[in-house]
């Protein structure tokens, strides 16, 4: 036998008990409300790992952008060239620092390539720089400096004993040293 369907007009609605408005309801009364037990949200370990990777990647991008902006800022006035320096007089790969040299009126300022500092690491005064000769890089020096650079022995007040630069940059440096203003020592090239 089939169950008989009751027409929708005859269906019984659930009983609703009404409370008088003067009686405080449980949801309205603050004195009867229990404090909620809040659930702690725990991030899974893999989400921490992903967040850490994103953070490290963002820092690397900011560092690279900072280095590019700094280099652009230094090169804006012109008279810049790549020059590596070494404080050791020996022919070895140890001690070479890559950098960027900027011509000023009476000084040659040298900045590290991988630094965010706006100040030069070394300042070479025009009259105090003496160049003593040039040579090709030998042994592991080839990998420590830029490709195609020549190494020049030098004496100066900053304590740097070797410069490495391209042939064109060396010609420009020699020209800058020899064309010093009147009253300064010239012909510092030996």
Q: Are strands 122-125 and 130-135 parallel, antiparallel or unpaired?
A: unpaired
What is the domain-level CATH number for residue 158?
2.30.29.30
* Residues sharing a CB contact under 8 Å with residue 127, sequence separation 6 or more, in sequence order: 180, 184, 185, 188
Of 34, 59, 76, the domain-final residue:
76
pLDDT given at position 82: 92
- Closest to 107 (Cα-Cα) out of 156, 41, 142, 162: 156
Domain extent at residue 56 = 44-76
pLDDT in tens, 16-27: 556 555 555 555
pLDDT in tens, 158-178: 889 999 999 999 999 998 888
Q: Do 166 and 102 belong together in one domain?
A: yes
Residue with tokens 């030996």: 190
């Amino acid at each position: 036998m089939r169950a008989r369907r009751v027409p929708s007009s005859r269906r019984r609605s659930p009983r609703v008990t009404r409370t008088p408005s003067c009686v405080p309801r449980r949801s309205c009364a603050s004195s009867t409300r229990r404090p909620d037990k809040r659930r702690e949200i725990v991030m899974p370990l893999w989400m921490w790992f992903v967040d850490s990777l994103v953070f490290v990647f963002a820092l690397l991008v900011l560092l690279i952008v900072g280095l590019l902006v700094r280099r652009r800022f230094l090169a804006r006035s012109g008279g810049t060239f790549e020059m590596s320096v070494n404080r050791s007089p020996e022919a070895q790969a140890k001690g070479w620092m890559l950098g960027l040299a900027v011509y000023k009126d009476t000084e040659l300022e040298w900045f590290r390539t991988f630094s965010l500092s706006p100040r030069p690491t070394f300042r070479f005064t025009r009259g105090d720089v003496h160049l003593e000769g040039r040579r090709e890089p030998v042994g592991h020096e080839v990998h420590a400096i830029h490709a195609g650079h020549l190494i020049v022995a030098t004496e100066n007040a900053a304590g740097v004993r070797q410069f490495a630069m391209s042939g064109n940059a060396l010609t420009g440096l020699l020209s800058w040293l020899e064309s010093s203003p009147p009253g300064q020592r010239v012909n510092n090239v030996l």
